[in-house]
Amino acid sequence: SAVISQKPSRDICQRGTSLTIQCQVDSQVTMMFWYRQQPGQSLTLIATANQGSEATYESGFVIDKFPISRPNLTFSTLTVSNMSPEDSSIYLCSVVDVGHNEQFFGPGTRLTVL
Amino acid sequence: AQSVTQPDIHITVSEGASLELRCNYSYGATPYLFWYVQSPGQGLQLLLKYFSGDTLVQGIKGFEAEFKRSQSSFNLRKPSVHWSDAAEYFCAVGIYLGASKLTFGTGTRLQVTL
């Protein structure tokens, strides 16, 4: 299975600022996703991070708020821009092992916006 | 669009008792179904998955799940619960290449009493 790391593991930020979350995978993967888990809620897919092209966003999420980069097959970043307290969530990246039809998740980044 | 319903928000069982967590899905074609567990402060771990074939699937940690197409259900079971099973359990449905773009249920929080 893929080993995924995320940085930072947690952060406390002021409203109006931005935070970039990094996701690193120990092997090359084709498909990588970013999810949000709001307090006490389930996971919601934000976007698919596409290598070499613009990310594909789900309904309700826009690039200006959540810009995503995917410079290669092992790394991606998600930026949460112009943060408000409503952005306080756990943000998780995930990768798909196509051969085994499994999706592996990183440990998450716990973001608190004051 | 696909959806997942987990009717039980919170379940409490005694250690050693049997467990069944309910999951109902809505999807027009054959679904790819997953159960994940999220322990406090941890990322998501895949317990088991169903794509096709035998409708009773075995997973890790002694869990199993049964796919019932007629009931659109994929309930998770364990014959004897251990205190370490206390966690949040998520059912998810995937489309496109099996594990991609997962839609999660709202989760069931399992509490185990000694």
> Within an 8 Å CB–CB cutoff, is residue A98 touching chain B?
yes
- CA–CA separation, A42 vs A74, rounded Å? 26
Sequence ranges of the domains in chain A: 4-113
Residue in B36, B43, B49 nearest the CB of A106: B43
B-chain residues near A5 (CB < 8 A):
none
Residue B109, judged by CB atoms within 10 A of its CB (0-12, 13-18, 19+), counts as middle
Nearest Cα residue in chain B from A91: B43
User: Which pLDDT belongs to residue A49?
Assistant: 93
| Structure tokens, A57 | 């966003």
Domain of B54, in residue numbers: 3-113
CB contact under 8 A, A42 and B98: no
Give the angle A52-A54-A56 at the CA atoms, nearest 5°.
Answer: 125
**Which residues between 40 and 59 in chain A have a beta carbon less than 8 angstroms from any beta carbon of chain B?**
41-45, 48
Fold of A4-113: Immunoglobulin-like (2.60.40)
What pLDDT, in 10s, does the model give residues A17-65?
999 999 999 999 888 999 999 988 889 999 999 888 889 999 999 999 9
Which DSSP state fits A58? Answer: P
Number of independent structural domains in chain B: 1
A112 touches chain B (CB under 8 A): no
In this predicted model, which residue has the larger pLDDT, A103 or B24?
A: B24
* B90/A41 touch (CB, cutoff 8 Å), yes or no: no
pLDDT in tens, chain B (114 residues): 788 999 999 999 999 999 999 999 998 777 889 999 998 777 899 999 998 888 999 999 999 999 999 999 999 999 999 999 999 999 999 876 556 788 999 999 999 999
Q: Beta B10-14 vs B108-113: how paired, if at all?
A: parallel
Asked if B52 reaches chain A (Cβ–Cβ under 8 Å), the answer is: no
DSSP string, B8-25: -SEEEEETTS-EEE--EE
User: Cα(B14)–Cα(B112) distance, rounded to whole angstroms?
Assistant: 5
